[in-house]
Amino acid sequence: MLKCRDVAEQASEYIDRELSWRGNLAVRLHLLMCRVCREYVRQLALVTRALRHLPADDVTSNHP
């Protein structure tokens, strides 16, 4: 069983579907039982989707 710290470390890979089937299953099982991690992954996915819609130069440029 994964701990919350494990889910936080693997959240980006989970969202990007880069985990193995076993890793994906472990994260999904944890998310079924942990409301805090579900909310964390939901928010991270929202930010990830928003960033993907920005032009590349907006994401990589440094603004003061």
> Counting runs of H as helices and runs of E as strands, what totals does the chain give?
4, 0
Per-residue model confidence as pLDDT tens digits over 31-59: 999 999 999 999 999 999 998 888 877 55
| pLDDT value for 60 | 62
| pLDDT value for 61 | 63
Question: How many Å apart are CA 8 and CA 6, to the nearest integer?
Answer: 5
CA distances from 45 to 4, 22, 48 (A): 17, 20, 5
Per-residue model confidence as pLDDT tens digits over 6-35: 999 999 999 999 999 999 999 999 999 999
